[in-house]
Chain A
Amino acid sequence: MDYSAIFTALLPDLFVVVALFAALGVDYTKLRSASLADRACAASRICGVGLVGALVALAFQLTGSLAVDGHALEVTTHGQLVLNAGTLALKALLFLLGLLVLPLAARTISTPQVSEYFALLLLATLGMGFMVTSRNLLGAFVALELVSLSLYALTALNSAQKGSAKSAEAALKYFTYGGVASAFLLFGISYLFGALGQLDITQATLAEAPRLVVVAYLFILVGLGFKLALAPFHLWAPDVYQAAPTPAAAWIASGSKIAGVALLLALLGPVSLPSAHSAIVPLLLLMAVASMAVGNLGALRQSNVKRLLAYSAIANAGYILVAVVAFTDDGRAAALFYAIVYAVATLGAFAVVSVWNDRLGREALIDDFRGAWKASPGLSLALLVFVLSLAGIPPLAGFVGKFYLFFAAIHAAPQMEYWSDGLYWLVAVALVFSVVALYYYLKILKAVFVREETGEMDNTPVGLPASVAILVLALLTVALGVWPEPVVEYIRLYLF
């Protein structure tokens, strides 16, 4: 075993781990008696430094200054770690988004367990990094569990605003639900291992799909369906999103979604059309349609913004599946691109909502945004960008993302042979639901821009770090919409 190679490969993660323990240590020793805000500030700074260090290390790895011998690594770790330009960039993106979550978390600290809160955020981020870099069935599963367990605990840490009972209840639901889903996933993985004879899925190809494999994928889809909040395994999402601390919910909706989609694509890697499609494709189709229907229709009646965003998450997971079903490289690239675009926009939306929750001292309803345009124009503009991107309005990233999704799905049509022949109908369904989605997205914007202000509003300033985070997210949303080509091209080149 070449340990030095593993050391250089894991240097970024080392930074994160050190930062995590440093945050815990400082909080437990020096700052025990300090105020909540000070502790949050210190912890978030330490974590931020760690993530920045990790990002620098990642940048060195990407540019080749800190060369990672990808091949040797793959051999020695049996695909536990596949570090190439694609996976490293994805990891860097997740770390970057994680870094943007920190100021939001520091701003609206909702629990006396300050350092644990940040440590769990970092642990989840770390796990996501492993999820996207691992191509080994067991390694990926362990990474997924790391993410999930951290997020379960994070969900419980909302003791502010008289929500602690609800938060604990949601965490318990999330945990139990996730436990069952993990069991399904592990069961499916064990079957897949049985069929492939190896854990390393980069090497594996399935020339034809024996029934065992099909059953394995059924179970894997149940497990990952939970992770991605795909109907009919979505029930945890609205409760958890609503009750969790808002930054944690944002991280569940964004980072976890990107990592989940990357893992799904990796696990579906060995499936090559047309051998396996006949059995697996209908499953994916059913989940896609169900998610779009449940997500979009369910969101129509919501008045709580976080709950609404939860349903929107379900719906968007459905859109992503539309391109996954294409089983082409273009489709995979489109799915991952859309996951990124969605994650950025939804993270931004959650960030604005978190500021609002903080100002109100309770969970924001759509009506609470009335007249926001006059009270805080900057935040309102940012929210406009995020929500319009989610709704898929050009020239924002969401539009381009959806365009690539649907384009890939339609383009793949000639390769289909079964009753799903041509994904036109699926794209049509997705388009119809996109129109339905406009209703609830615009409802938010109507409150912000059109309706009159009612009560006076506590106008606490957003603070520099959080405003920078929101600004970066908004700029990313616009930039990815105006000039998506480099990112999409990068994904196509290096990931698939």
Chain B
Amino acid sequence: MTLETLALIPLLPLVAAAITSGVQCGRRSAGIAIAAMLGSCVLALMACSESWGMAADTHKTFDIEWLTVGGTAINFGFVLDPLTGAMAAMVTFVGLLIFIFSFGYMKDDKRMARFFCYLSLFAAGMLGLVLANSLLLLFMCWEIVGVASYLLISFWNHKPEAAAAGKKAFIVTRIGDMGFLIGILLAFKSTGTLMLYDGGAGLLETGMAGTVLGFKTAAVVSLLLFCGAAGKSGQLPLHVWLPDAMEGPTPVSALIHAATMVAAGVFLVARAMPMFVDGGTLPVVAWVGALTALVAAFIALGQYDIKRILAYSTVSQLGLMMVGLGVGGVAIGMFHLLTHAFFKALLFIGAGSIIHGCHEEQDIRKMGGVWKSMRITSIAYLCGTAALVAFPFTSGFFSKDEILAGAWAAHRPIFWIAAFASLLTAIYMTRQCLYVFTGAHRGEHEPHESPKVMTVPLVILAVAALGLGAVARETIFAKLPGSAFPHETIVIVVSIAVALGGILIGWLVYGGRELGEAPDPLAVAPLREKLWFDELYAATVGRLWNLMAIIWEQLNELLLFVRDMAVALARALSSAVAIGGDRRFIDTFAFDGLCEKLRDSSWAVTRPQNGFLPSYLRLIAFGAVALGLLLFWMI
């Protein structure tokens, strides 16, 4: 891998985005975007395989000098190590499948060309973020990802909910980004560099000395970075945007909310792990993650929208990843991130296929009987479900097992919380599958199977969801830094017990029941209402904002009044001091007068420009003589 080939990975989608921005034809636009993504996928797989050959804890860096100003060089760069290699390969591979799926899903949309432009832009930002070797570049790509996700979520902007969801996602993540930015500035202030790895002088290699407000700088910076990560990865209390973001087209949900964008936060924590270790802030990460996992799993129980259930499940799983990072290290968290990316992307595009087949119906109460008419999709979806509930020997089982083992070794309460969240996961997924697949169809139109362009990616992802775990455990997991924990028997027993037990409970509750409009025993009001997080924010933060707006308005009125008074006073003074001189003063010396003078000077300087050649020539002579006189005076 050279700098050029590595840089091509994010640049190809970026170029595709630039080209497709001017393309009207949807098919051509999709072709360009998919070709670019295929190119970066090949390159990323090459990079990934190369990174496996690297010695432990080494980082290949490729730097570009961007700007030199008076000796201070601002560098941009890329880094290659197992972490970025694995992440880039996953993002491009899953991304490619989702691009292909979108081609089928968005076929009838008039703005398909624009859709692929946004998708490419998003992929470019995401890959830049993954490969960046400088916090500055990482942050820039982070923001590109934010903008692109805003555009994608509110892609169907004729729907007011979609427009609102896009805005909500953008603003809520922006709250976290604020912390991130402050963290970057603080890091720069304390170390003077923003490079992550720089031959021993990078941010992650030197450690940060000194304190800020009495805390260790590393602790403060890492917590601020975690703010950004929590925003992007939907951690408590900033998780509220993620379920609403399901208003976007389903491929977007798969791309953004399963595999990539929400993983960016987890990736950031993994990337900056030395800083978290240095600052001793990992327990915070673990606890936030554990609570998020639990709360989101509870809420998922009470939802009826198929994509919302998956959304809350994503939030919950992201929490588990944070737990993995917090208790065990990079390897454990990233392992779950990778397996989750595959099975959640599978579930999302499976849900997309179901929604498509059920004529854009998203309410599971109006589905049912899908198993009979959509066989391929159903099997694939069940594979994804098995992985999500950590059914033994699926990919999710391996990665979740590592998290639980880490939590058992590190902190017992977190272990029990995570195990309970897993139990809830199994319950709500069983509930969802029973609603969707069994019984008679409760909608108006009979569902139909989706076209090949949509099912093929499903099948590929299903294979990955089932089989990737064992493979990845031996390859990627072994390469990533982090401590391995002994797998005590009780951990494995609990892990299997919660998965099977959850499925059993779900079966017992929903198995023989009449589904549909009948009341649901577990979907109690607090869960249906998402524990009133939105209402809470509206009542607190929203109210506070309104109040502040009113106060500012009043203050503004006051200031305006004061200004008016001051102006009146000044007027009075001015006319009192120089009666009648007022006009002359304001107009000749104040801004207007000055501008007028400047414009008038234009006449003066263009006066020699009278069009007569003799006078032009005279001026050459005059100029030469004037310069000569100046010279004479100087020497």
Contact check, B620 vs A298: say whether CB atoms are below 8 A apart: no
Q: Which residue in chain A gives the minimum CB-CB distance to B601?
A: A297
Question: In the complex, what residues of B have CB within 8 A of residue A286's CB?
Answer: 627, 630
Nearest to A179 among chain B residues (CB) is: B617
Q: List 29 A-B contacts (CB under 8 A).
A: A177-B613, A177-B616, A177-B617, A184-B624, A211-B635, A214-B631, A218-B628, A222-B620, A226-B620, A232-B620, A232-B622, A235-B616, A238-B606, A239-B611, A279-B634, A282-B634, A286-B627, A286-B630, A287-B627, A297-B598, A297-B605, A298-B602, A298-B605, A300-B598, A300-B602, A301-B602, A439-B595, A439-B598, A485-B68
Given A235-B608, A294-B605, A218 and B627 contact (CB-CB distance below 8 Å): yes
Residues of A within 8 A of B599 (CB): 300-301
Residue of B nearest to A488 (CB): B68
Is residue B591 contacting chain A, with contact meaning CB distance below 8 A?
no
Q: Which of A173, A300, A439 has the most CB of B within 10 A?
A: A300
Task: Tell whether A283 is near chain B: CB-to-CB under 8 Å.
Answer: yes
| Cross-interface CB contact of A172 among B613, B622, B627, cutoff 8 Å | B613
A residues adjacent to B (C-beta < 8 A): 172-173, 176-177, 180-181, 184, 211, 214-215, 218-219, 221-222, 225-226, 232-233, 235-236, 238-239, 278-279, 282-283, 286-287, 293-294, 297-301, 407, 411, 436, 439, 483-485
**Which residue of chain B has its CB nearest to the CB of A287?**
B627
Q: Which residue of B lies closest to A211 (CB)?
A: B635
Decide if B620 touches A233 in the complex (CB within 8 Å): yes
- CB of A236 within 8 A of CB of B631, answer no
- The answer to whether A282 and B630 touch (CB under 8 A), given A300-B599, A301-B603, is yes
Docked pose: A297 CA to B601 CA in angstroms: 6
| B192 located at the interface, meaning its Cβ lies under 8 Å from any Cβ of chain A in the complex | no
Q: How far is the CB of B623 from chain A (nearest CB, A)?
A: 4
Chain B nearest Cβ from A92, distance in angstroms: 23
Which chain B residues border A236 with CB–CB below 8 Å? 616
Q: How far is the CA of A173 from the CA of B611 in the complex (A)?
A: 9
Contacts of A233 in B (CB 8 A): 619-620, 623
Asked if B580 is an interface residue, CB under 8 A from chain A, the answer is: no
| 6 closest Cβ pairs, A-B complex | A232-B623, A301-B602, A300-B602, A235-B616, A297-B605, A298-B606
Q: Identify 9 new A-B residue pairs, CB closer than 8 A, beyond the known A173-B616, A283-B631.
A: A184-B624, A235-B616, A238-B606, A278-B634, A282-B630, A297-B605, A298-B609, A411-B70, A485-B65
Query: How far, in Å, is B431 (CB) from chain A's closest CB?
Result: 52
Complex formed: what's the CA distance from A47 to B242 in Å?
A: 60
Q: A235-B609, A298-B605 are in contact. Are A181 and B620 (CB under 8 A)?
A: yes
Min distance, Cβ B128 to any Cβ of chain A, angstroms = 15
A176 to B618, CA, bound (A): 12
Which residues from B are CB-within-8-Å of A181?
Answer: 620
With CB as the reference atom, state the residue of chain A lying closest to B611: A239
- Per the bound structure, the CA–CA distance linking A181 and B624 in Å amounts to 10
Cβ contacts under 8 Å, B66 to chain A: 483, 485
> In the assembled complex, which residues on chain A have CB atoms less than 8 Å from the CB atom of B616?
173, 177, 235-236
Q: Is the CB of A485 within 8 A of B635?
A: no
8 Å CB interface, B588-616 against A: 595, 598-599, 601-606, 608-609, 611, 613, 616
Interface residues, chain B, with chain A CB atoms under 8 Å away? 65-70, 595, 598-599, 601-606, 608-609, 611, 613, 616-617, 619-620, 622-624, 626-628, 630-631, 634-635
Q: Does B613 contact A173, Cβ atoms closer than 8 Å?
A: yes
When chains A and B are docked, how far (Å) is the Cα of A233 from the Cα of B622? Answer: 10
CB-based contact A235/B619 at 8 Å: yes
Task: Give the secondary structure class of B's interface.
Answer: helix
**Bound Cα distance from A181 to B616, whole angstroms:** 12
- A280's nearest neighbour on chain B, judged by CB, is B631
Query: A301 near B627 (CB under 8 angstroms)?
Result: no
Q: Determine whether the beta carbon of A283 is less than 8 Å from that of B605.
A: no
- Chain A residues whose C-beta falls within 8 Å of the C-beta of B70 in the assembled complex: 407, 411
B617 touches A436 (CB 8 A): no
Q: Which of B69, B602, B622, B623 has the most CB of A within 10 A?
A: B623
Given the known interface contacts A218-B624, A222-B624, the answer about A279 and B635 at a Cβ–Cβ threshold of 8 Å is yes
Cα separation A299 to B624 with both chains bound (whole Å): 24
Main secondary structure of the interface of A (DSSP, over half): helix
State the CA gap A439–B630 with chains docked (Å). Answer: 33
In the assembled complex, how far is the CB of residue A472 from the closest CB belonging to chain B, in whole angstroms?
15
B620:A177 contact, CB within 8 angstroms:
yes
Closest to A237 in B: B609
Residue from A211, A235, A484 with most neighbouring chain B CB atoms (10 Å)? A235
Cα(A181)–Cα(B65), bound, Å: 44
A382 to chain B, nearest CB (A): 14
Residue of B nearest to A235 (CB): B616
With a cutoff of 8 Å between Cβ atoms, the chain A residues found around residue B606 in the complex are 238, 298, 301
Tell me the minimal C-beta distance from B69 to chain A in angstroms.
Answer: 8
CB-nearest residue of chain B to A170: B611
In the complex, the chain A residue whose C-beta lies closest to that of B618 is A235
Looking across the interface, which residue of chain B has its beta carbon closest to that of A484? B67
Residues of A within 8 A of B624 (CB): 184, 218-219, 222
Chain B residues closer than 8 Å to A301, beta-carbon distance: 599, 602-603, 606
Identify the closest chain A residue to B22 (Cβ): A378
Q: Inside 8 A of A299's CB, which chain B residues have their CB?
A: 602
Q: Which of A436, A483, A484 contacts B598 (CB 8 A)?
A: A436
Residues of A within 8 A of B611 (CB): 239
Complex Cα distance A411/B605, Å?
31
A180 to B624, CA, bound (A): 12
**What residues of B have a CB within 8 angstroms of the CB of A484 in the complex?**
67
In the complex, which residue of chain B has the Cβ closest to the Cβ of A281?
A: B634
Query: Of the candidates B602, B619, B630, which one forms a contact with A297 in the assembled complex, judged by CB atoms under 8 Å apart?
Result: B602
**B613 x A180 contact (CB < 8 A):** no
Q: Which residues of B contact A279 (CB under 8 A)?
A: 631, 634-635
Nearest B residue to A221 by beta-carbon distance? B627
Residue A176 contacts which of B65, B69, B613, B622 (CB distance < 8 angstroms)? B613
Chain A hits for B630, CB < 8 A: 282-283, 286
Is the Cβ of A485 less than 8 Å from the Cβ of B67? yes
| Complex: chain A residue closest to B610, CB-CB | A235
Give A301 to B596 CA distance when docked, in angstroms: 11
- Name the CB-closest residue of A to B622: A232
Contacts of B69 in A (CB 8 A): 407
**Contact indicator A222/B627 (Cβ below 8 Å):** yes
Cβ 8 A contact of B617, one of A180, A222, A439, A485:
A180
A218 to B613, CA, bound (A): 23
